[in-house]
């Protein structure tokens, strides 16, 4: 008598983005002549750069000829792409051996799957608000109790509030926790953790033999040279931190699919000596995965070449100019905004203490702009709203103009 | 105090294929002048077909221009690829709605992840021998007890022996089980389940509200028109069976990465009414996955076009000719062989009751041919050996010649 995984029943609501789609589609049904401006999902809009396109075409061409055709790659990426990623770290002054680098089809699958190599009764701490994948995958794996509607939190999950008062970076957990998810530059708040903030978490993790899952998917957007782009820039991070990163936003690979995870040899846990967690993740990749597409790997290598990185920086500059336009426009009409300086997300405080979803509906109806309700990222996101800088500049400008002209404050 | 998932410690040995690589590398270290002939891993060797190459280039070109660039796809594949797969089923006389089709980066991830939507105390039945992913992923998820060295079985896992006496298709389980993995055409035995054999399992599954996970990754290799290519060709299968399939072997996508899973709306379990399991898998894809590469999706659509299918059939014919060469050659020297008629794998009985690994070493040393030990697929695989028909015909012919000339029987 097969029974399904009942943890799925605990999931509080539809995954945030499908719910946005649902409300948006409903609005369009009732207002068929309206053209919406979507600043919701952080989806790239600008074409891949010339180097990457050449790399991808080469990847396809290789498969057209018997002399260069390849089948299965290494289950966590071939040596050349791992060497290229190792080189990426070298430029940050960080040593990451190719045996510590596991290449996948993206940061989302990795940040979803990483919990599976830890035991089911692990106590998990997340920044609140946080990228929903960290929470939902741990709910599905059974590491939480029920969802409590009053607090809008799952039992057993430790929420680390990020709010205006602490500059959207949390205090250390008061209790002992096992797994800590930190996303910097942060999705959704657009805040970047400083060196000293990360140092404190690393000290905590080492003292408590906890593991930090550091999501650096937006590292390429950091403009301030004093802010760390990798947690491994901080001493001792390799003893306690797993880092996840992606080509999605850095190189426009959201649809192309390529990411990576670093599991350092030095990482230890209560029951795992040096090297073991690394081998467990290798085993997981060997068992559940068959490597990222060989075509896509060549695109990734091109993106990490010197010329590729110069081109990617132009892509990043393009989106960061959008972020500036959003920040400036909203500030002008008196809205309070955060983020958007070292991250492609602007985190705005809803006016008149509106709820996030009420502001979503208001923005949609009055200005035809689709954004993302902050409360969808956790209870401390309530009263905030995320606007994404991913989009064509003319569309972003038009959206900001529409907000300025039509939002009734 | 983070602790790792201790189920990993139960895993009996290295994953089969890395262990083969280890032994092979060791042999090459000691015999640096030898050129090995690899008939081990089922890895495609022939270039992609012209239609597919055109589709993939078009996929890349679309990303080079702002007018045609796309970011995230639907998390389980865009409508066109799902429509193409729906069309694939239509040609088999099977109805599969696009809402029942979930496209992924391959059959291996899907066959590894599918268990996660079922509860942890499910009783799992596997064909013995079986593709190791079915077993290992359930071990990691905690559905088994320890590995018992004497029986070479995991506690709690139900092994359904496949041997010469039953034509390598198992009897129904004697006890009630919840999840049943069936692979047809079978990896590793090369056997194809008949309609009546599947009918019996479907009747069992419906009577016991069990779920069949049907892995059809090798369906394209079936030559006999009387054998089912999809479990849904059998009445009532949609009430109890999930089907997984792949472009890997059919179209040479092993390195390109594309597969799919069908979760029928009619599928029910003890605690899930019609539609629920389908929505759970959708939720899983939304939470853990971000869609297969948009480039690769266009390659898949090209492979499923009429012209693409004609080209794919030539690819399949090429490998099936290899299978015939292996079968004929081995039969000639008195070895007993199975499979290889409707599947790209030949399953040979080791001579003189040798163990599978002893035959692996013997074949490697005497003939420089690398195959796959049957025991690596489960205890009933002991005394058998898998040879793969994936390879260049000249290499396959040379390997068979070498075996005929140098294997000391």
The enclosing domain of B126 has a CATH number of 3.40.640.10
Q: Which residues of A touch B41 (CB under 8 A)?
A: 72
Whether B6 is in a domain gets the answer no
pLDDT at B42: 86
Partners of B55 on chain A (C-beta within 8 Å) are none
User: Mind telling me how many Å the CA of B353 is from chain A's nearest CA?
Assistant: 30
Identify the CA nearest to A41 among candidates A248, A196, A234, A191: A248
Picking from B273, B305, B337, the residue at the C-terminal end of a domain is: B305
Residue A147 half-sphere exposure, CB side, CA atoms within 13 Å?
16
Cα separation of B350 and B355, whole Å?
A: 7
Mark whether A290 and A256 lie in a shared domain. yes
Mutate to test the interface with B, among A61, A71, A252 (most CBs of B within 10 A): A71
Task: Check B118 against A142: CB less than 8 A apart.
Answer: no
The confidence score (pLDDT) of residue A88 equals 98
Q: Work out the mean pLDDT of chain A and round it to a whole number.
A: 96
A102 forms bridges with which residues in the sheet? Answer: A261
Q: What is the pLDDT of residues A74-115, one digit of tens each?
A: 999 999 999 999 999 999 999 999 999 999 999 999 999 999
Q: What is the pLDDT of residue A14?
A: 57
Which of A:293-332 have CB within 8 Å of B? Answer: 293-296
Residue A91 touches chain B, beta carbons under 8 Å? no
Q: Cα(B279)–Cα(B266) distance, rounded to whole angstroms? A: 12
Percent of chain A with pLDDT over 90: 95
Closest CA to A241 of A193, A311, A286, A283: A193
Q: Is A395 a domain residue?
A: yes
Q: Which residues, listed in sequence order, are joined to residue B241 by a DSSP beta bridge?
A: B212
pLDDT band at A240 (very low <50, low <70, confident <90, very high): very high
A263 contact partners, CB below 8 Å, separation of at least 6: A100, A102, A242, A277, A278, A281
| Cβ within 8 Å, pair A46-B63 | no
Same domain for A220 and A327?
Answer: no
Phi, psi at B103, each rounded to 5° = -95, 140
Rounded to whole angstroms, what are the CA distances from A338 to A198, A314, A376, A381, A385?
A: 20, 23, 17, 13, 10
Mutation target among B51, B59, B125, B255 for the A interface, most CBs of A within 10 A: B255
The C-alpha atoms of residue A174 and residue B125 are separated, in whole angstroms, by 45
Rounded CA Rg of chain B: 21
User: 């054998």: which residue's tokens?
Assistant: B227
- C-alpha–C-alpha distance, residues B256 and B105, integer Å: 8
- A3/B270 touch (CB, cutoff 8 Å), yes or no: yes
Give the domain-ending residue among A249, A279, A305: A305
Amino acid B16: pLDDT: 76
Name the nearest CA neighbour of B180 among B146, B220, B207. Answer: B207
Q: Does one domain contain both A249 and A325?
A: no
Inter-chain contact B2–A210, Cβ cutoff 8 Å? yes
Is there a contact between B263 and B276 (Cβ–Cβ < 8 Å)? no
**Is A340:A328 a contact under the CB 8 Å cutoff?**
no
Q: Tell me A133's DSSP state.
A: H
The full length of chain A comes to 409
Claim to verify: residue B242 and residue B187 sit in the same structural domain: yes
Q: In the numeric block, which tokens belong to residue B126? A: 């596997």
Per the CB < 8 Å rule, is B105 touching A2? no
Whether residue A377 lies inside any domain: the answer is yes
**Residue of B2, B107, B130, B274 to mutate, interface with A, max A Cβ within 10 Å:** B2
In a domain, A2, yes or no: no
Quick one: B284 and B313 in the same domain?
no
pLDDT at residue number A15: 63
Q: pLDDT value at position A16? A: 76
Please determine, for residue A13, whether its predicted confidence score (pLDDT) is greater than 70: no
Which residue of A lies nearest to B258 if distances are taken between CA atoms? A293
Question: What are the beta bridge partners of residue A125?
Answer: A158, A180
B158 in Cβ contact with B124 (< 8 Å) = yes
| B355 domain residue, yes or no | yes
CA distance A136 to A12: 9
A162 and A287 fall within a common domain: yes
How close does chain A come to B409, measured CA to CA in Å? 33
Q: Are A123 and A255 in a shared domain?
A: yes
Q: Say which residues have a Cβ less than 8 Å from residue B306's Cβ, sequence separation at least 6.
A: none
Which of A271, A305, A339 lies at the terminal end of a domain, its last residue?
A305
Outline where DSSP puts E strands in A163-302: 179-183, 211-215, 241-246, 259-262
B1: in domain: no
Residue A405 has pLDDT above 60, yes or no: yes
Q: What percent of chain A has pLDDT over 70?
A: 99
Nearest to residue A88, comparing CAs of A262, A257, A255, A235? Answer: A262
Express each pLDDT in A135-191 by its tens digit. Answer: 999 999 999 999 998 999 999 999 999 999 999 999 999 999 999 999 999 999 999
Angle between helices A306-332 and A50-62 (to 10 degrees): 130
Name, in order, each residue with C-beta under 8 angstroms of A244's C-beta and a sequence gap of 6 or more: A107, A110, A111, A114, A213, A214, A215, A216, A217, A259, A260, A261, A262
A98 in contact with chain B, both atoms CB, cutoff 8 A: no
CB proximity list for A368: less than 8 A, separation 6 or greater: A34, A35, A36, A37, A402
Give the model confidence (pLDDT) of A108-135 as tens digits: 999 999 999 999 999 999 999 999 999 9
With beta carbons under 8 A apart, name residues in chain B contacting A6: 119, 271
Same domain, A133 and A265: yes
CB contact under 8 Å between A287 and B137, yes or no, is yes
Hey, what are A202's tokens?
Answer: 């690393």
pLDDT in tens, chain B (409 residues): 799 999 999 997 656 777 898 999 999 999 999 999 999 888 999 999 999 999 999 999 999 999 999 999 999 999 999 999 999 999 999 999 999 999 999 999 999 999 999 999 999 999 999 999 999 999 999 999 999 989 999 999 999 999 999 999 999 999 999 999 999 999 999 999 999 999 999 999 999 999 999 999 999 999 999 999 999 999 999 999 999 999 999 999 999 999 999 999 999 998 899 999 999 999 999 999 999 999 999 999 999 999 999 999 999 999 999 999 999 999 999 999 999 999 999 999 999 999 999 999 999 999 999 999 999 999 999 999 999 999 999 999 999 999 999 999 8
Same domain, A139 and A180: yes
A250: three-class secondary structure by DSSP: helix
A86 shares a domain with A139:
yes
Tokens representing B213 are: 């996970």
Q: Is the pLDDT of residue A56 over 80?
A: yes
Find residues 340-359 of chain B whose CB sits inside 8 Å of chain A.
none
Residue entry with tokens 């079986």: B130
Interface with chain A: mutation pick from B15, B42, B71, highest number of A CBs within 10 Å: B71
**Contact flag A295-B296 (C-beta cutoff 8 Å):** yes
Query: Are residues A133 and B66, on separate chains, in Cβ contact within 8 Å?
Result: no
Cα(B159)–Cα(B173) distance, integer angstroms? 8
- Residues A197 and A132: their CA atoms lie apart, in Å, by 23
Q: Does residue B281 sit in the same domain as residue B381?
A: no
Residue B169: name the closest of B358, B351, B368, B343 by CA: B343
Angle between helices A306-332 and A294-304 (to 10 degrees): 80
A107 located within any domain: yes
Give the CA-trace dihedral at A316, A317, A319, A324, to 10 degrees: 140
Kind plus residue range of the DSSP H or E element containing A144: none
- Tell me if B113 sits within 8 A of B141, measured CB to CB: no
Task: Look at residue A42 and tell me whether its pLDDT is greater than 90.
Answer: no
CB distance B52 to B308 below 8 Å: yes
**Token pair for residue B313?**
């059939």
CATH value at residue B353: 3.90.1150.10
> Residues A374, A347: contact at Cβ < 8 Å?
yes
A1 lies in some domain: no
Q: How many domains does chain A have?
A: 2
A/B interface, count of CB pairs below 8 Å:
267
A30 and A149 in one domain?
Answer: no
A211: cis peptide before it, omega within 30°? no
Mark yes or no for CB contact A119/B284 under 8 Å. no
Give the residue numbers spanning the domain of B285: 52-305
A1/B contact by beta carbon, under 8 A: yes
Asked if A391 is an interface residue toward chain B (Cβ–Cβ < 8 A), one would say no
CB contact A18 to B (< 8 Å): yes
């Amino acid at each position: 008598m097969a029974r399904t995984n009942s943890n799925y029943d605990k999931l509080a609501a539809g995954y945030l983005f499908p719910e946005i789609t649902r409300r948006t589609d409903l609005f369009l049904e009732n207002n068929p002549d309206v053209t919406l401006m979507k600043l919701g999902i952080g989806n790239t809009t600008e074409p891949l750069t010339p180097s990457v396109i050449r790399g991808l075409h080469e990847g396809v061409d290789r498969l057209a000829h018997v002399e260069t055709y390849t089948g299965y790659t290494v289950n966590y990426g071939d040596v050349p792409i791992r060497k290229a990623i190792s080189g990426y770290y070298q430029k940050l002054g960080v040593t990451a051996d190719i045996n510590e680098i596991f290449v996948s089809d993206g940061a989302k699958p990795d940040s979803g799957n990483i919990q599976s190599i830890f035991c089911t009764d692990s106590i998990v701490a997340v920044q609140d608000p946080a990228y929903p994948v960290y929470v939902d995958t741990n709910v599905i794996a059974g590491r939480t109790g029920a969802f409590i509607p009053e607090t809008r939190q799952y039992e057993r999950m430790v929420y680390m509030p990020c709010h205006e008062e602490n500059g959207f970076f949390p205090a250390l957990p008061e209790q002992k926790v096992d797994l800590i998810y930190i996303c910097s530059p942060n999705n959704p708040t657009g805040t970047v953790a400083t060196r000293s903030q990360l140092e404190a978490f690393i000290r905590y993790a080492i003292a408590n033999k906890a593991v930090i899952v550091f999501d650096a998917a937006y590292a390429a957007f950091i403009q301030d040279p004093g802010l760390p782009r990798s947690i491994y820039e901080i001493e001792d991070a390799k003893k306690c931190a797993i880092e996840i990163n992606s080509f999605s936003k850095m190189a426009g690979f959201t649809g192309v699919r390529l990411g990576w995870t670093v599991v350092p040899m030095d990482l230890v846990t209560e029951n795992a000596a040096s090297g073991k967690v690394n081998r467990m993740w290798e085993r997981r990749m060997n068992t559940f995965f068959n490597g990222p597409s060989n075509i896509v790997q060549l695109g990734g290598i091109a993106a990490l070449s010197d010329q590729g990185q110069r081109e990617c920086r132009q892509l990043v500059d393009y989106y960061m100019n959008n972020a500036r336009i959003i920040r400036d426009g909203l500030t002008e009409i008196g809205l309070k905004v955060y983020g958007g300086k070292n991250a492609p997300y602007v985190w705005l405080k809803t006016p008149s203490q509106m709820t996030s979803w009420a502001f979503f509906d208001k923005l949609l109806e009055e200005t035809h702009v689709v954004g993302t309700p902050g409360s969808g990222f956790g209870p401390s996101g309530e009263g905030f709203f995320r606007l994404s800088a991913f989009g064509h500049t003319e569309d972003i400008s038009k959206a900001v103009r529409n907000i300025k002209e039509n939002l009734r404050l």
